[in-house]
Amino acid sequence: MPAKKLSVNRSALGHRVSYALRHPQRVPRHLVRATRDAWLRYRYPDHVAYYRAVMRSDTRTSPEAAVGSRSHERWLALGAMQFDYLLDHGLRPEHRMLEIGCGNLRAGWRFISHLEPGHYYGVDISPEILAAAQDTLVREGLQDRRPTLTPVRDLTLRFLPDAHFDVVHAHSVFSHSPLPVIEECLAHVGRVMAPGGWFDFTFDRTEGVEHQVLREDFYYRTETLIALAEKHGLAARFMADWEELPHGQSKIRVTHPEGTRTS
């Protein structure tokens, strides 16, 4: 895949004009999405409510596209990439796993199959995508693995037990979240992480100006998110080996300072 353009400000007028000139066939689709998003932002000023509406609209068209996969083959490949990475970095069948933004189980069905029955807990802000997740469970024949799928209103995780999850995972969640939403998660995730547990999340990385596009895609500097984790008493490190994989986002691992794993 092409090298990441870490200094580009995708919200800048010059970049948008240049992109439109280089890809004129994409302009009509972008204008349709921009119009829809503007209307949804007007109706739902709160970001989580707004993005829930985005997911409702996208899932209606295609659950796989709603989670960022333009084909079934890419859906399978991205799920396998997430699963293989976690497997190589410490995921074991006896672990209890919380997946934040589980979507339609692009990676989740593989986690569910690998983990002991009842050890997977998936949450998402979109009831519609969770209905699609149920379809994935049926298609893969995983009902006997007894996963839990739960809609959430926010990322406070207040209904979950203390020190319960060995692994917390959020793929393509913070890439669609403003800083207050990310901080809400980081302020509370430590409570539900078991001693020695970890939280892996991906994000869209920039080394230039932090920015957003259509209030859907947010670009952050690594040091911003590491500092935010440390503000809430967590240790965080950039996962450089994830960068070697064919994926456009970057990854950070968060742990309790006294419980950092060496995997």
Does residue 207 lie in a domain region?
Answer: yes
Residue 3 lies in a domain: no
Q: What is the C-alpha R_g of the chain?
A: 18
> pLDDT tens, 15-39?
776 877 788 888 888 899 899 999 9
Residue 81 resides in a domain: yes
Q: Confidence band (pLDDT; 50, 70, 90) for 8? A: confident
Question: Rounded to whole angstroms, how far apart are CA atoms 163 and 174?
Answer: 22
Q: Which of 26-40, 89-103, 160-174 has the lowest mean pLDDT?
A: 26-40
Q: Indicate the pLDDT class of residue 262, thresholds 50, 70 and 90.
A: very low
In the predicted structure, residue 227 carries a pLDDT above the cut 60: yes
Residues 140 and 113: their CA atoms lie apart, in Å, by 9
Residue 259's pLDDT is 46
Token duo for residue 110: 């593989």
Q: Considering only residues 260 and 172, tell me which one the structure prediction assigns the higher pLDDT.
A: 172
- What is the value of pTM for the model shown? 0.92
Higher per-residue pLDDT: 263 or 12? 12
Domain hosting 99: range is 13-255
Q: Choose the weakest-confidence range: 94-103, 127-136, 243-252.
A: 243-252
Per the structure, how many domains does the chain have?
A: 1
Query: What is the pLDDT at residue 3?
Result: 53
What's the N-to-C CA distance of the chain in angstroms?
A: 27
Residues 143 and 141: their CA atoms lie apart, in Å, by: 6
Does residue 6 lie within any of the structural domains?
A: no
Would you say 112 and 145 are in contact if contact means Cβ atoms under 8 Å apart? yes
**How many Å apart are CA 9 and CA 204, to the nearest integer?**
12
pLDDT-based confidence at residue 261 (cuts at 50, 70, 90): very low
Tokens coding 94: 């006896």
Q: What is the CATH number of the domain that holds 179?
A: 3.40.50.150
Please tell me the distance from the alpha carbon of residue 263 to that of residue 259, in angstroms, as a whole number.
12
Whether 2 maps to a domain, the answer reads: no
Do the domain assignments include residue 170? yes
Establish if 96 belongs to a structural domain.
Answer: yes
pLDDT-wise least confident of 49-53, 67-71, 232-236, 248-252: 67-71
pLDDT score of 260: 46
Distance CA 205, CA 219 (A): 5
Asked if residue 67 belongs to a domain, the reply is: yes
